[in-house]
A and B are shown apart, each in its own frame.
Chain A
Amino acid sequence: MTELVNGKGLTLIPKTDAKQTLKDFKSDQEVRWCPGCGDYAILAAVQSFLPELGLRRENIVFVSGIGCSSRFPYYLNTYGFHSIHGRAPAIATGLAASRPDLSVWVITGDGDALSIGGNHLIHALRRNVNLNILLFNNRIYGLTKGQYSPTSEVGKITKSTPMGSLDKPFNPISLALGAEASFVARTLDSDRKHLQSVLREATAHRGTSLVEIYQNCNIFNDNAFEPLKDPEVRDEITLRLEHGQPIASATKAVVRAAGGGIEVVPRAEAADDRILVHDAHRPDPSLAFALSRLDEPSFEHVPIGIFRQVDRPAYDVLMAEQLDEAVAQKGPGDLGGLLMGGDTWRIG
């Protein structure tokens, strides 16, 4: 097992001794999602999780793009910036890079993050800016009333695709790992305990943490993740990823395949020492990537949990170090000296 020296995600952010509760993080604004939307569960999970961090509330900022999920910041009594479609990672990057004392969260959806904002997302991930990105994936466009999204399955019948969608969806986890994100996880809107355990690790991680949250849109794509919630089958198909633990469900196990990859076999067929033990801290992302492909193309078995969690210097810290180094080399900036710095001459 690779050991991690990170977990310092919060050290630069001021703490409070005051006791905080869920109520402290509720804003006075009426929540306006559709009744039954998965967003309610995520909001409640985040609001009840934040007090645990013990951070000064004023040092927390939620930045969002456009979409149903992007209304999130209005409902939290922290600083918030509801921006424009797809651009939240860019705006949050400027904020987090210039303010290492802030806990900056990005709230985004599958359309916002992976279609219009895809470029900003991958670049935030590769830079490793200190952001917690919560990607609410409901595999549909909600706010524009039901068009297929970049995570919708092929053949999706929607208003804009009456004969079925043609394009292959993105797998957000594979995409994030491809961009060499340092923290990549998947969780579920309805599993508050798991969701909060992932948030705990994500906030402890200094750098970009991408958390995909399977979120149900009960209006336009109801029950998209039902198998993961159905007590009859969920324990069979859910492959919990826990660092240092074998990757297996009640009936299935992940093992090394003969060809060099990995495969899912009936648990009964896999001896305990054959079952792959999850190492989220592996510097090489290829095994995490292989895990992210296990649910393709169907929902037969779905890994949930932290795929990858590795140490990499955070962008804001590196940026601040360069400023310090410049001061160490040249002394603090002197405007008069700068202007006089070229070839000058005197007249009169």
Chain B
Amino acid sequence: MTKQVQQLDRVIIRFAGDSGDGMQLTGDRFTAGTAEFGNDLSTLPNFPAEIRAPAGTLPGVSSFQLHFADHDILTPGDAPNVLVAMNPAALKANLGDLPRGADIIANTDEFTKRNLQKVGYAASPLDDDSLSEWRVHAVPLTSLTVRALEGFDLSKKDAERSKNMFALGLLSWLYHRPTEHTISFLEQKFAKKPEIAKANIAAFQAGWNYGETTESFSVSYEVKPARLTPGVYRNISGNQALAYGLIAASVQSKLPLFLGSYPITPASDILHELSRHKEFGIRTFQAEDEIAGVGAALGAAFGGALGVTTTSGPGVALKAETVGLAVTTELPLIVVDVQRAGPSTGMPTKTEQTDLLMALFGRNGESPVPVVAPMSPSDCFDAAIEAARIAVKYRTPVMLLSDGYLANGSEPWRLPDVSELPDISQEFTTAPNGADGEFLPFKRDPDTLARPWAIPGTAGLEHRIGGIEKADGTGNISYDPNNHDLMVRTRAAKINGIDVPELDVDDPDGDARVLVLGWGSTYGPIAAAVRRIRKSGGKIAQAHLRHLNPLPANTGDVLRHYDKVLLPEINLGQLALLLRARYLVDIISYNRVRGLPFKAEELAGVIQDVIDSD
């Protein structure tokens, strides 16, 4: 039977199932095949904080959304074209996001009376006409998998566990994905259990063959490779890119990396990744708590290391006092905050931009800290190097504000040429700097206002630093009122004087009257919304802040240039508060704090409303 092949320019698939169904792995493998095929892509994993919530319940649903296209795309997509629902809970939890006409591939084996009851279905929605708005493909994924694995020496339960690979095979057929990588991946993953490897491969191939032969699928789809900038690409998540950026920062600063960290969602993967690369001289220290994590990093920085601590919002709260110590001792330190929904424990696996004001002001005293925020998963690489550059050059702690969406989302990344990465190295001070041959640990560089970084082991420069106010120059304890005023102002001036690039504005014709501004991870959805507006003939300017402290020097001019400034944030208006106070410019805020990134369509509507309003 020859099946019809339809061309599409982009597709959004969501795999959804129980936490134990392997949906993240399935999504990862589909992503790998898609990346290999050459589409542009963007992903959004969404999973509960509980490792295994009760099976078959709504809280236990885990999903993975993938957007891929024949052109460059900016977000994981608003609404899925295809939902793979491994059980009734996965269907119910995701149905609200499905546009009319979308495909639903439902695993009928799991639509048992008991499973339906667990999520409040009186009858199976597959059997009545409640799903008539969608195209439903009822596939007994579990039993087909078990049948395909009959020849294997496996228990029924083990055989059933391969149903995610059957689903992956079916979807790979449906969208013409290459299969070689998945097969070699399974061989490697289960190298020590060859029977399991073979079974998973057999399930994967059975899924593919099912698509080819069943009448349930009459059409398959092709999405041509995207024409991206030439280069070598790999798919990368924000956390991995951030870890690689820190390694690159260590290499480019010629400083050994010391990571002091305490496990916390969604930042732990940075600790995991860095701990795998000790051949770079990286010391990873899993501390007894958040405070010890940053303390050890600061201690290592005193000794001449590139000190880093990685955490999420609750951890930043605990580290505040030590960050203040780094501010006043003027030592380089990188504090990575992978923001998550708060306050308190909040929703650990969900994203938010609510730590901006804490990063800027969440310490006692006048305690200025530079803040850098990456704008996409792959930008975490460059943002980490930038944070390190500032930390080392200006001898200051730097906050790097990632978030859960960047951390776990992924996109293709054009690999940089490592020979072209910036040299961010600084010399340690090795000789006295005082007029009488003495060492003055707080005598500053006149340009940067940075103080000397003289590390233990350097003869003749023995000195003491600490949290008590220091006399300008000598660093000796000082309670002198004028000295304190001078030091407070000097520390502020140092941070305000950090060289950050100007704010770029994307205003193609130069005649837009509305600017949409963003910071951090909202770049993708805002840019996608801007494209939509322009496609329909609208005029809109876009700018995105990567440096939140200091702000680019032209920020005020950019804001004042437009009649209206719209600022979407996944908080209740934190940057808007800051910009209003600093530039006396009104800002139209758009805020949603749902634990999820903005959708492009949603923002396009908001932008259009602002353009249309008087």
A binds B: yes
- Nearest Cβ distance between residue B336 and chain A, in whole angstroms? 16
With a cutoff of 8 Å between Cβ atoms, the chain A residues found around residue B467 in the complex are: 66, 82-84
Which residues, 63 to 89 on A, are CB-close (under 8 Å) to B? Answer: 63, 66, 73-74, 77-84, 87
Complex Cα gap A95–B297 (Å):
8
Contacts of A102 in B (CB 8 A): 303, 456-457
**Cβ-defined partner of B416 (8 Å) among A322, A339, A344:** A339
The answer on a CB contact under 8 Å between A81 and B457 is: no
Q: Which residues of B contact A166 (CB under 8 A)?
A: none
Q: Which residues of B contact A60 (CB under 8 A)?
A: 456
B470–chain A nearest beta-carbon distance, Å:
10
The 0/1 profile, CB within 8 Å of A marked 1, for residues 272-305 of chain B is: 0000011111110101110110011111111111
Which chain B residue shows the least CB distance to A77? Answer: B462
Residue of B with least CB distance to A61? B456
B558 within 8 A of A: no
Pick from A78, A101, A323, A340 the residue with the most CB of B within 10 Å: A323
Contact B258–A98 (Cβ < 8 Å): yes
By beta carbon, the residue of chain B nearest A332 is: B279
**Contacting residues, chain B, for A61 (C-beta < 8 A):** 302-303, 456
The stretch that binds B, out of A51-59, A181-189, A230-238, is A51-59
* Alpha-carbon distance A280/B281, docked complex (angstroms): 37
B476 at the binding interface (Cβ < 8 Å): yes
Report the minimal beta-carbon distance from B429 to chain A, rounded to whole angstroms: 13
Report the Cα distance A63→B465, complex, angstroms. 10
| Nearest CB in chain A: distance from B412 CB, A | 8
- The 0/1 profile, CB within 8 Å of A marked 1, for residues 323-362 of chain B is 0110001000000000000000000000000000000000
Interface residues of A in 170-198 (CB under 8 A from B): none
B299 and A81 contacting across the interface, CB-CB below 8 Å: yes
The answer to whether B461 and A91 touch across the interface, beta carbons within 8 angstroms, is no
- Whether A3 is near chain B, meaning CB under 8 Å from some CB there, is no
B465 touches A82 (CB 8 A): yes
Q: Which residue of B lies closest to A82 (CB)?
A: B466
Closest partner residue, chain B, to A75 (CB atom): B464
Q: Which residues of chain B (86-131) have a CB below 8 Å from chain A?
A: none
By the criterion CB–CB under 8 Å, are B278 and A323 in contact?
yes
| B403 → chain A closest CB, angstroms | 23
B477 within 8 A of A: yes
Residue A19 lies at the interface, judged by CB distance under 8 Å to chain B: no
Q: Are B278 and A338 in contact, with the CB atoms below 8 A?
A: no
* B191: Cβ under 8 A from any A Cβ: no
CB distance A74 to B477 under 8 Å? yes
The complex places the Cα of A92 from the Cα of B287 at a distance, in Å, of 13
1/0 per residue, CB under 8 A from A, across B568-585: the answer is 000000000000000000
Q: Return the contact of A345 from the options B35, B244, B458, B476 (Cβ within 8 A).
A: B35
Contact B415 A93 (CB under 8 A): no
Residues of B within 8 Å of A346, CB to CB, are 230-233
Interface residues of A in 94-135 (CB under 8 A from B): 94-99, 101-102, 119-120, 123
* Complex Cα gap A92–B28 (Å): 41
Also in contact, A342 and B234, with CB within 8 A (given A98-B258, A333-B251): yes
In the complex, the chain A residue whose C-beta lies closest to that of B184 is: A343
Asked if A37 is at the interface of the complex by the 8 Å CB criterion, the answer is no
Q: Which residue of A lies closest to B275 (CB)?
A: A322
Q: Is the CB of A94 within 8 A of B295?
A: yes
Q: Does B25 contact A (CB under 8 A)?
A: no
B219 interfacial by beta-carbon distance below 8 Å: no
**A162 cross-chain contacts in B, Cβ below 8 A:** none
Question: A79, A94, A348: which contacts B298 (Cβ < 8 A)?
Answer: A94
Q: Does any Cβ of A come within 8 Å of B154's Cβ?
A: no
CA gap between A348 and B415 in the complex, in Å: 14
Complex Cα spacing A90 to B225, Å? 51
CB-defined contacts of B299 to chain A, threshold 8 Å? 63, 81, 90-96, 98
Q: A27 is contacted by which of B247, B288, B464, B466 (Cβ under 8 Å)?
A: B464
Contacts of B307 in A (CB 8 A): 94
Which residues of A, 2-41, contact B by the 8 Å Cβ criterion? 14, 27, 29
Establish whether residues B296 and A93, one from each chain, have CB atoms under 8 Å apart when the complex forms: yes
Min CB–CB distance A121 → chain B (angstroms): 10
Q: Are A84 and B300 in contact (CB under 8 A)?
A: no
Chain A residues closer than 8 Å to B329, beta-carbon distance: 81
Measured between beta carbons, the chain B residues less than 8 angstroms from A342 are: 234-236
Interface size class of B (residues with CB under 8 A): 35 or more
Interfacial chain A residues near B415, Cβ < 8 Å: 339-340, 344
- C-alpha spacing A319/B282, complex, angstroms: 10
Q: Which of A118-175 contact B (CB under 8 A)?
A: 119-120, 123
The residue on B at minimum CB distance from A325 is: B278
Whether A58 lies near B456 (C-beta < 8 A) is yes
Is the Cβ of B466 less than 8 Å from the Cβ of A330?
A: no
Q: Does B377 contact A (CB under 8 A)?
A: no
Contact B476 A98 (CB under 8 A): no
Whether the Cβ atoms of A101 and B287 lie closer than 8 Å is no
Do most interface residues of chain B lie in helix, strand or loop, or is the interface mixed? Answer: mixed
* Least CB separation from A70: chain B residue: B466
Residues of B within 8 A of A339 (CB): 234, 244, 415-416, 418
Q: Is B300 within 8 A of A87, CB to CB?
A: no
Binary contact track B451-464/A, C-beta < 8 Å → 1, others 0: 00000111111111
Report A322-338 residues with CB < 8 Å from chain B CB: 322-323, 325-327, 329-333, 335-336, 338
For A299-323 the 0/1 string (1 means CB < 8 A from B) is 0000000000000000000010011
Contact B285 A347 (CB under 8 A): no
Is there contact, CB below 8 Å, between A336 and B456? Answer: no
- With a CB–CB cut-off of 8 A, which chain A residues contact B236? 342
CB of B507 closer than 8 Å to a CB of A: no
Residues of A within 8 A of B248 (CB): 335
Q: B296 contacts A94, CB within 8 Å?
A: yes
Residues of B within 8 A of A27 (CB): 464
Q: Are B38 and A347 in contact (CB under 8 A)?
A: yes
Q: Would you call B233 and A99 a contact (CB within 8 A)?
A: no
Assess the A78–B462 pair: CB atoms within 8 A.
yes
> What chain A residues lie within 8 Å of B321 (beta carbons)?
84, 87
Contact between A81 and B279, CB atoms less than 8 A apart: no
Residues of A within 8 A of B227 (CB): 347
Closest-by-CB residue of B relative to A319 is: B283
Given contacts A333-B247, A347-B233, contact A97 B285 (CB under 8 A): yes
> Is the beta-carbon distance between A94 and B285 smaller than 8 angstroms?
yes
A335 & B247 in contact (Cβ 8 Å cutoff): yes
Nearest CB of A to B281, in Å = 6
Residues of chain B within 8 A of A94, CB atoms compared: 258, 260, 285, 295-301, 303, 305, 307
Q: Contacts of B463 on A, CB cut-off 8 Å?
A: 79-80
Q: CB < 8 Å: which of A66, A120, A325 contacts B288?
A: A120
Q: From A58, which residue of chain B is reached at the shortest CB distance?
A: B459
The residue of chain A having its C-beta at the shortest distance from the C-beta of B461 within the complex is A58
Q: Is B65 an interface residue (CB 8 A)?
A: no
Contact of B32 among A123, A325, A343 (CB under 8 A): A343
Known contacts A123-B288, A339-B416, A346-B233, A97 near B283 by CB under 8 Å: yes
Q: Max chain A CB contacts within 10 Å: which of B247, B248, B281, B303?
A: B303
Q: Are B460 and A58 within 8 A (Cβ)?
A: yes
B300 and A331 contacting across the interface, CB-CB below 8 Å:
no
Which of A57, A60, A344 gathers most chain B CB within 10 Å? A344
B440 CB to nearest A CB, Å: 13
CA separation between A299 and B280, bound complex, in Å?
54
**Pairwise interchain contact B36-A99, C-beta atoms closer than 8 A:** no
Partner of A344, one of B233, B244, B279, B298: B233
- The residues of A that contact B278 with a CB separation of less than 8 Å are 322-323, 325-327
6 contacts between A and B (CB under 8 A): A81-B465, A91-B296, A123-B292, A323-B278, A335-B421, A347-B38
- Given A83-B325, A94-B297, A94-B298, list of 5 further CB < 8 A pairs? A81-B466, A82-B467, A323-B279, A326-B277, A345-B233
Using CB atoms and an 8 Å cutoff, list the residues of chain A in contact with chain B: 14, 27, 29, 56-61, 63, 66, 73-74, 77-84, 87, 90-99, 101-102, 119-120, 123, 319, 322-323, 325-327, 329-333, 335-336, 338-340, 342-348
Shortest Cβ-Cβ A-B pairs, 10 listed: A348-B230, A82-B466, A94-B296, A333-B280, A94-B299, A90-B295, A80-B464, A326-B278, A91-B299, A90-B292
